[in-house]
Structure 1
Amino acid sequence: MKVAVFSAKPYDTVLLDKASDSFNVQFSFFSDALNQSTVALCEGFDGVCVFVNDEVNSEVIQRLVKHKITHIALRCAGFNNVDINAAKQAGIRVSRVASYAPEAVAEHAVALMLTLNRKVHKAYNRVREGNFELDGLMGFNLKGKCIGVIGTGHIGKAIAKIMRGFGCQVVCCDPVISPALERLGAIYVSLEALLAQSDIISLHCPLSEDTYHLVDETAIARMRDGVMLINTSRGGLIDTQAVISGLKKGKIGYLGLDVYEMESALFFENRSSEIISDDVFERLATFHNVIITGHQGFFTEEAMHEIATAVVSNLVNHNAALGKCDNIVV
């Protein structure tokens, strides 16, 4: 099977080639993102492998059909960037990596929490300049605080377990209740109750029509004053303008982002010598109580190995029966 890999980085090349050593899968790597301008590169391939910011809309899928592509293999869990209905109508199989070392993203979310709380980023810069003053660096104990986890899939479960280890009260919101988390002491509540109770809110739900701008002006108004908001899931879960307003008013006391609504024009590339024209992103970056990382939560050795292995498995098992594998979307 010949597969075109888009948005490929050097680490993708190494890991996917290694994972496919024993299988009849041949990868070709393109640094370009898949979109209407680059879909012509799919000529002569059987499948495509895409990442979070590749655009696999209905127009692209129509072109994939003409190129006789039979499989779209995502190397991530979310599939909001793929027009699933169009793929289904076209008879193209879509697979994803439903679970890959969920602790990787969960631990990154905790790293954002701790950095924001204990102001590690500020302390680091001070010490490098010979400033050892503590004024302005005071944080709070996580023990006893209420952590709201929105979405208790694999990653949500992982962070709930970690936060229980810190001695936090954990409240969760998800249509599917996890008895395992309840046994650990987590409590499931409505979204409204979670927003009102939580000192820290961490987002771990997929992006869909129902969750788009889940955190909007109304949701922020329901939150506690000075709340900490963490998003390591998908940028579209947050109404960025509403969050900026919340930061300006002091309603949001801390913001940690590993994702951004318009990240496809920024993330995964070195733009240090460019003028960033995204005024919304630049405004976010001016706040002293905001930390933004470039969608690196998944980026651990363990997670990357599992992703590569799962992608190859999905391609090799192309004809896996629907409903019998969490990795098969359509």
Structure 2
Amino acid sequence: MKIIYYGVQPEEEKTIQQWSFRHRIRVTIVSEVIDVINVHLAKGHQGVCLFPSQDMRTSEEIYRVLAHYQIQTIAIKSTGVDSVNFDWAKKYGLTITNVPTYSPTSVGHYAVMAILMGLRHLPQLMHQQGMPAGKEMNEVTIGLVGMGRIGQVVAETCQALGAKVIATTRTKQSGQVAGIQYVSLTQLVTQSDVVSLHLPQTKESYHLFDETVFEQLADDVVLVNTARGAIIDTQALLHWLARHPYASVVLDTLEDEEIYRMTNYTDNPWYQRLSIHPQVMITPHIAYYTQRAVDEIVWTTLTNTKDVITTGKSANQVFS
């Protein structure tokens, strides 16, 4: 058995090598993301691990070539699979897996840090803007959109710091945090001092935060997004920012970021338009970025691939 791993970062290599040694399976490491030029490197392998590139969304040729090389599975090294074209995956018989869970505290604690920075108007202060005094956690209401494992970490941590926490969620998870009041999205955005997003990108959540939702937010709200960029209608956000100087927005993810993943995230036109606003702080999708999380993602991605090749299925299968 041979597996090829595209888009490998330096901090992933040691874990890939450890997994390879443990399972006695050869793993080819490629630093570049997959595209129509380097897809030929997959020849002779049975499985592919990767983070979806822009070509994965737009080029059927990648899927066709992988199927021609008798690749059985594409293992996505993230929770989100929104950049995979499932029509082409189905057409060419490719099984798709993901990493549904990894260290929830990596993103959860980062989101809490972002909330605290927003409450103290750090985005504006870094732009040397005069601002009113900040707020403390024990005097605000935190609204969480999404209450999966990460949302639960944020809820528990904010509660421990004295905040009131309300939430909206599509389905109630097991092990829900005690003391959370569940409300509608409209109720949440109108009642919250802080709104933090913790839901996957789906057809239903695409541009969930549109012009209508923004108009319901408090003038001095703190908005945090560590989930997916396209949950926010960025054009609507820009219009809203122009009229709300006392709001604070901390974004760890932007629309179209996958296009600029292996170049420079500051080349993203959305980054360029948002970064001129003193209310906005942008980080390059690093909320997950701890060594523990990286190790868990790599290990799960490779194990998903092995399982599909050896048994025809994986516990983390999202499409077959």
Q: How does the TM-score come out when normalised to structure 2?
A: 0.89
CA contact (8 A) 1:78 1:207 kept: yes
What are the equivalent positions in structure 2 for 1:300-311 lying under 5 Å apart? 300-311=290-301
Cα distance in 1 for partners of 2:244, 2:125 equals 22
Tell me if 1:328 matches 2:317: yes
- Partner of residue 144, structure 2: 149
Alignment RMSD: 2.5
Tell me if 1:196 matches 2:198: no
Cα distance in 1 for partners of 2:267, 2:303 equals 40
- Partner of residue 178, structure 1: 173
- Partner of residue 201, structure 2: 207
Cα distance in 1 for partners of 2:239, 2:9 equals 36
Cα distance in 2 for partners of 1:279, 1:70 equals 36
Offset of residue 316 of structure 1: 2.3
- Partner of residue 295, structure 1: 285
Q: Secondary structure at the match of 2:224?
A: strand
- Partner of residue 2, structure 2: 2
Offset of residue 53 of structure 1: 4.0
Offset of residue 118 of structure 1: 2.3
Q: Secondary structure at the match of 2:223?
A: strand
What are the equivalent positions in structure 2 for 1:1-330 lying under 5 Å apart? 1-53=1-53, 55-57=55-57, 59=60, 60-120=62-122, 136=131, 138-178=133-173, 180-181=175-176, 184-250=178-244, 253-269=247-263, 278-318=268-308, 319=310, 325=315, 327-330=316-319
Q: Which runs of 5+ in 1 are unaligned?
A: 127-133
CA contact (8 A) 1:142 1:167 kept: yes
Spell out, residue by residue over 1:34-83, the C-alpha distance to the aligned partner (whole angstroms, 9 max, x if none): 23343233222211111154543471222211121111111111111112
Offset of residue 92 of structure 1: 1.7
Cα distance in 2 for partners of 1:277, 1:86 equals 29
Q: Which runs of 5+ in 2 are unaligned?
A: none
Q: Secondary structure at the match of 1:111?
A: helix
User: What is the aligned length?
Assistant: 316
Offset of residue 111 of structure 1: 1.5
Cα distance in 2 for partners of 1:268, 1:255 equals 25
Q: Which amino acid aligns with 1:200?
A: V
Distance change in 2, residues 1:40/1:321 (3 Å): closer
Spell out, residue by residue over 1:4-57, the C-alpha distance to the aligned partner (whole angstroms, 9 max, x if none): 222221112222112222113322222222233432332222111111545434
Q: Which amino acid aligns with 1:113?
A: I
Between the aligned residues of both structures, percent identity stands at 29
CA contact (8 A) 1:224 1:251 kept: no
CA contact (8 A) 1:229 1:252 kept: no
Cα distance in 1 for partners of 2:275, 2:95 equals 39
Offset of residue 268 of structure 1: 4.9
Greater shift, 201-210 or 244-253, is seen at 244-253
Q: Secondary structure at the match of 2:212?
A: helix
Offset of residue 260 of structure 1: 0.8
Q: Secondary structure at the match of 2:35?
A: coil
CA contact (8 A) 2:75 2:304 kept: yes
Q: How does the TM-score come out when normalised to structure 1?
A: 0.87
CA contact (8 A) 2:47 2:73 kept: yes
Offset of residue 179 of structure 1: 5.8
